[in-house]
Amino acid sequence: VLGMVFLTNVLAWNQSAISHTFLISWTFAIVFVSGIKLTVFYRHYHAHHEASNSSFDKTKLWYRFFLSTTALTGILLGIGGIFFRAPDVQLGYILFPTALAGLSLSAAVLFSSCFPAFLLFTVFSMLPFGFYAFFTDSAEGITLAIADLIFLLFVIFAAHKLHLFTLGFLHLQNHILSIVKFMDQNRSKLVELQDQSQVTNISPLSAGLSPTKSYQLLESMVEAGTQELLNAYQEVRQNKERLELAITASNLGLWDWDLVSDHVYYQNFEGILGYKEDEEPGFMAHLQSLVHPEDFPLVRHAMADHLKGKTRFYLVEYRVKHKSGKWIWVEDRGKVVEWKNKRAKRLIGTHRDISVNKDTTEQLQLAATVFDNISEAIFILDTELNFISVNNYFTTITGYTLTDVHHCSIMDYRHVPESVKAQYEEIHNHLNRYGFWQGELLERRKNGDTYPQWLQINAIYDDKNNIRQYVGIFSDLTTRKESEEQLRYLATYDSITGLANRSLFKNRLHAAINHARQNHSKLALLYIDLDRFKPINDTYGHEFGDKILSAAAERLISVMPSADTISRLGSDEFTVILDNYISSSQVAELCEKLIKTMKAPFIINNIEIALGCSIGVSEYPRNAKELQTMLNQADSAMYQSKRLGGNSYHFFTGNLQTYTLDKVKLETQLRKAIFEDEIVVYFQPKLNLANDTIDSVEALVRWDHPTDGMLTPDNFVPIAEETGLVSAIGEVVIGKVCQQLIDWRNKGLGSIKVSINLSAQQIHKGDMAKVIGNILDKYQIDANLLEVELTESILMEDVHETVASLNKIRAMGISILLDDFGTGYSSLSYLKKFPIDVLKIDKSFVEDIDTDPDDAAIVKAIIAMAHSLDLSVIAEGVERNEHLAFLRAHGCDGVQGHLISEPLNGANMAELLLKQKSAANAG
Ligand code: C2E
Ligand code: CA
Ligand code: CA
């Protein structure tokens, strides 16, 4: 429009028919109207473009303004057409109408979306010119007017068609935009859709549209959207993978329970519980079979509470059966995520394996319980020996509570003498060097009493091997000491007479010999046997006999300067140890005195009894230099007195005819016996009470004497010991035992252990470990099958060497058994020094175990104490069912005795074992 106005001005300025005033006014009016219109249109366009509704809202003010200004422009152009139609203006004939026609065509296109605007513009600009030409001109003007009209009609028709098409296009465009908007809003749903149908390309959505420009536009928009969706999908997938990885790594199992369909989706179920996907259980109903029966009510409760909305979370710990069959602890945690009509629709949660935590917690709890309830006092100290913690039993023993001692040094928390503090200093040094200390201390309780304490302290190290704390454990030895004393008394004193028993006697004699040896002094042993006691005992009964024995003991004591030199060996045999005497005549004097005292009648239960005694004397060092020899000699001297009618005493001399003859004869016979293979080994089974089977036997030597028959050890072992033959016999026994083991093995009787008895000489002379080792090698027998039995008196001689020798034997794998326990020192603290595995309670305690409360107490105490020292206990001499019942009830580990079997020869023993084996197979 403006271009045309400019051109008109250039051409019309010099035309005289057109006044300049009109031209300027006309030009100004058009420029003004067009300017306003453009400004408004521009503003409107920017204000409403975002709203993207490009079709016109006909109710708006600006639309009416737009139509008015368009019409105004048309009118102004129409007015221009009339004026430039003046006859002298060349321009009016051709140029102006042509330009108007061109403007109309342009308007048809420009206003294609707004047909009224086109109509107003075209009609107002074209019609005035036509009318003017029609009415004012000649034929020429009429032709022009008709041409103007025809052109106008065609343009209107074309403009209308174009308008309709444009409307269609705009409609389509809106439609597409709304699709895109819809897709945009539903992108997440589409991802899901695509995920499920595995469709990776959604371009088919746009299929069916015609391949027009709009289609291409739509397709490109849809493709852009698809790409965006794919990117989003990709990201979601990566996130999901990351989440899965995180879940697996964190040892969590994820579950998602749809309560409506009761379908459970599990993730990492296998990782936690070992079940494959197809073995996964449903939720409550099926899970029940996996949850520990004790825990299931808990799980159900927690679930019910949460579903009822009582709890914010569902959280419970319970045991589940792992695929491998073992129980594992899981923490199950969940929450309802969807509700419908106040009913839970969907629950999501996690399983977590907490077995390790649980184990540690349980262990910690256990440790704490032990700490507080153990019957040993425990305390924890820092590196400066200040108390950090003490347990309940610490308070029980010492009287001090944790508050009393907290942060106090172990040296200062109670009043103790400097010597005790010095001892703790020493312990501290020892701990810093070796990390461990144990020993006995005399400590003081809160009430001021002192008490013996057995203390063990360990250093606790940190990662860098620095001491972090000390842990001490102690027990109050008072009661143990008391019961040990009692046990010792019971075990070493004779209950009838109150005198020392055989074992105490042996210890005393042993000590006396050592003393005499060191001081080069003399020693005499009196062996006293009552005359005629046995027939009296048989006639009047045991109770009566016991009274005679106790009366006789009193008389002995009355004669002797001190009671602790007298012992009762058994039945009616007594001994007296005399040291510090000057001459044998002094001893003889005492013997006469004793005989005289015993001759006087005893009156018991108003019955007068005439006894008497025979005495034998052996002297150190004149006759004997060893305990057993001394005893044997005194015994044979006593026998001599007896043979000569009783009520007499004899000193042992080499001239004792019979004895010496016997001895020499026996010695030669015994030497021969070894070479003639008259030494035989019998076996007596030991019953293991843990499984009621015979898994070990004791080897007992016998002498198959050519004329006297099968002799038991007491007939020849003392002589063998005296003459030094016992070692040789011992070797024969071990060899025979090995042969027997091979035989039993060949018979398929399993590995039976055999114990052999060793005498003092075997242990103290020569290298016993080596001797045994050689024989075992020769027969290719495993050392584990061998045990050795020793008596306490053997241990007490030369302690240092004995321990060394026993350690060697034990190192080979041979167990060590302490025989006849209870008849010797029986001190347990002393026993700790020796490498011992088993205690064998002497048969003298077992004999009356069910009738004599003293014996019962001793046996009980021995068993308990042995166990506290980690030793096994067996009992020998078990003859009656009552014995067995008692021992079993009190935790004895094994028994041996006639109730099980007497000693048997190898063949009979094999038969017994075979019987046991077939019984076991049948059972
Ligand atoms: P011991 O080691 O105390 O052996 C147990 C003795 O008690 C055996 O006597 C056995 O027959 C016997 N006995 C077994 N059960 C009962 C029972 O229920 N009641 C009773 N009253 N006695 C039972 P044995 O065979 O006469 O042996 C006597 C001692 O000879 C043994 O006492 C042991 O110290 C010693 N001895 C045995 N064999 C050897 C050996 O090879 N070498 C050495 N140096 N000494 C041996
Ligand atoms: Ca034995
Ligand atoms: Ca024994």
State which ligand 1 atom lies nearest to the alpha carbon of 720. Answer: 44
For residues 888-899, average pLDDT: 96
| Residue nearest ligand 1's atom 20 by CA | 877
> Phi-psi region for residue 729, left (φ > 0), alpha (ψ -120 to 50) or beta?
alpha
- At 24, phi and psi to the nearest 5? -65, -45
Average pLDDT over residues 486-498: 78
Query: pLDDT confidence of 634, banded at 50, 70, 90?
Result: very high
Cβ of residue 267 lying under 6 Å from some atom of ligand 1: no
Query: Across the strands, what pairs with 702?
Result: 680
What's the pLDDT at 85?
Answer: 67
Residues within 5 Å of ion ligand 2 by Cβ?
Answer: 757, 789, 819
Pocket test for ligand 1, best of 694, 738, 757 (most atoms within 8 A of CB): 757
Contacts of 453 by beta carbon, 8 Å cutoff, 6+ apart? 397, 440, 441, 442, 443, 474, 475, 476, 477
Q: Is 128 in the pocket of ligand 1 (CB under 6 A)?
A: no
Cβ of 787 less than 6 Å from ligand 1: no
d(CA 788, CA 839): 12
655 pLDDT higher than 60: no
Q: Which atom of ligand 1 is nearest to the CA of 713?
A: 30
- Higher-pLDDT residue of 340, 211: 340
- Give, using CA atoms, the residue closest to atom 33 of ligand 1: 757
Work out the angle between the directed axes of helices 799-811 and 768-779 (0-180°, nearest 10). Answer: 20
**Measuring from atom 37 of ligand 1, which residue has the nearest CA?**
700
- Residues 284-298: what's their mean pLDDT? 79
269-283 per-position pLDDT tens digit: 777 777 776 666 665
The verdict on the CB of residue 842 being under 6 Å from ligand 1 is no
The answer for 878, left when phi > 0, alpha when psi is -120 to 50, beta otherwise, is beta
CA of 819 to the centre of ligand 2 (A): 6
Res 548: pLDDT: 92
Range with the largest mean pLDDT of 119-128, 141-150, 253-262, 368-377? 119-128
Q: Is 840 in the pocket of ligand 1 (CB under 6 A)?
A: no
pLDDT band at 736 (very low <50, low <70, confident <90, very high): very high
Q: Is the CB of 903 under 6 A from ligand 1?
A: yes
- Give the confidence band of 894 by pLDDT, cuts at 50, 70, 90: very high
Element (H, E) at 88: none
Cα separation of the two ends of the chain: 126
Q: Is residue 726 in contact with ligand 1, taking CB distance under 6 Å?
A: yes
Tell me the CA–centroid distance for residue 783 and ligand 2, in Å. Answer: 19
**C-alpha 368 to ligand 1 mean position (Å):** 50
Q: Find the mean pLDDT for residues 95-100.
A: 80
Q: How many angstroms does the Cα of residue 525 sit away from the middle of ligand 3?
A: 25
Mean pLDDT of 826-851: 84
Indicate if the pLDDT at residue 87 is higher than 60: no
Q: Is the minimum distance from the CB of 875 to ligand 1 under 6 angstroms?
A: no
- Residue 344: pLDDT band with limits 50, 70, 90: confident
Q: What are the tokens at 482? A: 């008391």
* Residue ID of nearest Cα to ligand 1 atom 38: 700
pLDDT at res. 873: 96
Ligand positioned closest to the Cα atom of 712? 1
- Residue 756 CA: which ligand 1 atom is closest? 41
Ligand approaching nearest to the C-alpha of 903 = 1
For the stretch 819-828, pLDDT in tens is 988 776 656 6
Q: Is 718 in the pocket of ligand 1 (CB under 6 A)?
A: no
Ligand 1 closest atom vs CA 721? 44
Please indicate whether residue 710, judged by its CB atom, sits closer than 6 Å to ligand 1. no
Closest by Cα among 267, 229, 223 to 248: 267
Question: How far, in Å, are 229, 671, 877 from residue 716 at the CA level?
Answer: 109, 11, 22
Chain segment 422-459, per-residue pLDDT in tens: 889 999 999 999 889 988 888 899 998 888 888 989 99
| Residues making up the chain, counted from first to last | 923
Rounded distance between C-alpha atoms, residue 363 and residue 643, angstroms: 75
For residue 820 and ligand 1, the question of a CB distance below 6 A is answered with yes
Query: What digits encode the pLDDT tens for the residues 568-604?
Result: 988 899 999 998 787 888 889 899 999 999 988 899 8
> What's the rounded Cα separation, in Å, for the pair 280 and 270?
9
Report the range of poorest mean pLDDT among 31-40, 157-166, 522-531.
31-40
Question: Which pLDDT value is given to residue 414?
Answer: 84
State which ligand 1 atom lies nearest to the alpha carbon of 840.
3
Q: Could you tell me the pLDDT band of residue 52, with boundaries at 50, 70 and 90? A: very low
Residues with Cβ within 8 Å of 493's Cβ and at least 6 positions away in sequence, in order, are: 499, 500, 501, 504
Do residues 474 and 455 make contact, with C-beta atoms less than 8 angstroms apart? yes
CA of 139 to the centre of ligand 1 (A): 170
Is residue 457 within 8 A of residue 427, CB to CB? The reply is yes
Distance 616 CA to ligand 2 centre (A): 29
**Res 92: pLDDT:** 60
901 Cβ closer than 6 Å to some ligand 1 atom: no
What is the arithmetic mean of pLDDT over 244-271? Answer: 78
* Residue 82 confidence (pLDDT): 79
The answer for residues whose C-beta is within 8 angstroms of residue 91's C-beta and 6 or more apart is 8, 11, 12, 15, 84
pLDDT at residue 167 is higher than 80: yes
Considering every ligand atom, which ligand is closest to the CA of 896?
Answer: 1
Helix axes 213-249, 187-197, angle to 10 degrees: 70
Ligand nearest to the CA of 755: 2
Among 436, 487, 412, 340, which residue's Cα sits nearest to residue 861?
A: 487
Whose CA is closest to atom 7 on ligand 1? Answer: 877
Can you tell me the distance from the alpha carbon of 359 to that of 241, in angstroms, rounded to the nearest whole number? 32
Least confident of 183-187, 490-494, 509-513: 183-187
- Predicted confidence at residue 186, as pLDDT, reads 66
pLDDT at 294 over 90: no
Query: Which residues, in sequence order, are bridge partners of residue 378?
Result: 473
Q: How far is the centre of ligand 1, averaged over its atoms, from the C-alpha of 847 (Å)?
A: 15
- Is 632 touching ligand 1 by the criterion CB < 6 Å? no
Stretch 861-882: mean pLDDT, rounded?
90
Indicate whether 921 pLDDT > 80: yes
Q: How far is CA 752 from CA 687, 781, 839, in A?
A: 12, 12, 19
Among residues of the chain, what percentage have pLDDT more than 90? 29
Instruction: Yes or no: say if 801 and 764 are a contact pair by the CB < 8 Å rule.
Output: yes
- Regarding the beta carbon of 822 and ligand 1, being less than 6 Å apart is answered no
How far apart CA 730 and CA 13 sit, in angstroms, is 160
Residue closest via CA to ligand 1's atom 27 equals: 713
At residue 350, φ and ψ (nearest 5 deg) are: -135, 150
- Ligand 1 in contact with 684 (CB < 6 A)? yes
Cβ neighbors of 5 (< 8 A, separation 6 or more) are: 27, 30, 31
Handedness of CA 526, 532, 534, 539 (dihedral sign): negative
Q: Torsions phi, psi of 372, nearest 5?
A: -85, -25
Residue 143 identity (one-letter amino acid): T
CA–centroid distance, residue 838 to ligand 2 (Å) = 12
Task: Evaluate: CB of 730 within 6 angstroms of ligand 1.
Answer: yes
pLDDT value at residue 881: 96
